[in-house]
Structure 1
Amino acid sequence: KLLVVPFALILVETPISPQERLAQGSANDRVKARWGEMWGALQGNRVWQPTLAIFFFSCLPGPGTAMTNFFINDLGFSEEELSYIAVVAAISGAVGMTCYYKFFKELNWHGYFAIVVVISSALSLTPLILVFHLNRSWGIPDLAFALGDDAIIDVTNALLAMPILILIATICPHGVESSLYALVTSVQMAGGTVAGSLSALLISAFGIELHNYDRLWQLILLCALLRLTFLPIIPMLPTKLTQVQSTSKSEYGAGLVLALLVLGVFWALGQSSYKLATVSD
């Protein structure tokens, strides 16, 4: 992390003169003005609707830690082999983002998301081959199949994530870019926290433990099917990047976004407090 320090020193920031600071008013006035601008921007349908869609997408659970534990305890993968999978995942993500930029960025987003979500849901079922050890009957080693499977899934996930990242950066109006971008990404992270909690609840509900993976296939199947629930949400996204210029507004939509953000934060705090209390007991 210290490697970032030299690059931070390159940043140039022009100091604000006393006259400019006086013209901007007090800190309280500036906060009120910035909040008013951000609230007005958040009310726009071009902002709150995609933000809700991003939140919902981020809430979708996955097999997550259950699959990692399966790799370690059932398939016997070492830390080195898991690191290979992580490297392949990173490279595959970069490949997916490059493919989107090169081949898919001009496509209609509604059709694009619908197709990629369906493909992603189908590919999310491929770990079942490892769970039932079908690859061994085909003469494919567990690690080789896991690497190939993870590469394909991560390319697809990147094809889903890339337009969402572009959308987050695009929907932020001029003047409040940084504040609104931070808000939208916070909503996205709140959704990710909910997804992690839902995954943990599902793992517990299916009785999946460190050495019991009898129902792991059911968890994988359910998580794959839950991805399809994003299909009815797709109309909340713009059909193309240029469509985000809509001027329609809704206070209720903006309020819902803020409510979800607050609930997500309290959910995260509640989960953390519960885990700490459980560990201490």
Structure 2
Amino acid sequence: MAWFFLAHVTVPNISTVMFYYQTEFLKLDASFLGTARVVGWLGLMFGTFIYNRYLKTMKLRRILLLAQLGLSLLSQLDIVLVSRINVSFGVSDKVMVLGGSALADAVNQLKFMPFLILSGQLCPPGIEGTLFALFMSINNLGSTLGSFVGAGLASLLNISSGSFDNLLLGISIQILCNFIPIAFLFLIPKEATGISA
């Protein structure tokens, strides 16, 4: 639980700033962004399938390491979008947003599944619901604090709904921060896998 909390808190969440960038600068409408969320949920289901099919025998530390590296790599799609490189290659903003949303949600699911498996293995019988509620509370607290860190970063860099001049710098800082949780992987049991004990 500590690792997942730290993974949220140490990476600034600037998704709200990206939402404003997508609606105000790129002029993407709300219905399209709703569609992007649906595609993201499909990515979650895809991530669950991939985990169950191919990764449940892999060590959890390795899965979480690869997930963090994957999230860092996918965050670079935001750099491509904000720097408008995609337009120079003829890739539409909508394709970038849809693809980035689905892939990021799939990788986040790959990150989430191992913890659920590990929790089930370590949990004493009869308190599974309590443990899951505790985990979700800690996970949501970490996510909320990560959003506060992201808001603080946006404020520090003077990024707002009308000013996106430093958004590339903010995304770059977010990408670098994606490597911080890797330093805390020692908190995950070394030999743990997704196979029930």
Same fold (TM over 0.5): yes
Q: CA deviation at 1:79?
A: 1.2
Deviations 1:160-182 (A, max 9, x none): 12212333343321233333332
Structure-1 residue corresponding to 2:24: 73
For structure 1, which segment, 170-179 or 77-86, has the greater mean C-alpha deviation from structure 2 after superposition? 170-179
Change in 2 beyond 3 A, CA 1:137/1:243? closer
Structure-2 residue corresponding to 1:124: 75
Structure-1 residue corresponding to 2:192: 240
Q: CA deviation at 1:132?
A: 0.9
Query: How far apart in 2 are the matches of 1:169 and 1:186?
Result: 17
Query: How far apart in 2 are the matches of 1:64 and 1:168?
Result: 28
Q: CA deviation at 1:206?
A: 1.1
What secondary structure sits across from 2:57 in the alignment? coil
Query: How far apart in 2 are the matches of 1:122 and 1:195?
Result: 19
Task: Specify the structure having the higher radius of gyration (Cα).
Answer: 1
**Equivalent position amino acid for 1:240 in 2:** A
**After the TM superposition, which residues 2-151 of structure 1 pair with which residues of structure 2 at under 5 Å, given as runs?**
51-59=1-9, 60-151=11-102
**Equivalent position amino acid for 1:97 in 2:** T
Structure-1 residue corresponding to 2:171: 220
Change in 2 beyond 3 A, CA 1:244/1:207? farther
Structure-1 residue corresponding to 2:109: 158
Q: CA deviation at 1:107?
A: 0.4
Q: CA deviation at 1:190?
A: 1.6
Matched, 1:202 2:150: no
TM superposition score normalised by structure 1: 0.65
Q: CA deviation at 1:124?
A: 1.2
What CA RMSD, in Å, does the superposition of the two structures yield over aligned residues? 2.0
Contact 2:58 2:194 in 1 (8 A): no
The percentage of counterpart residues that share the same residue type is: 26
Contact 1:168 1:185 in 2 (8 A): no
Deviations 1:196-224 (A, max 9, x none): 21111111111111121111111111111
Contact 1:93 1:158 in 2 (8 A): yes
Structure 2 unaligned regions, length at least 5: none
Contact 1:96 1:158 in 2 (8 A): yes
How many pairs align?
195
Query: How far apart in 2 are the matches of 1:181 and 1:145?
Result: 34
TM superposition score normalised by structure 2: 0.90
What secondary structure sits across from 1:118 in the alignment? helix
**Equivalent position amino acid for 1:162 in 2:** M
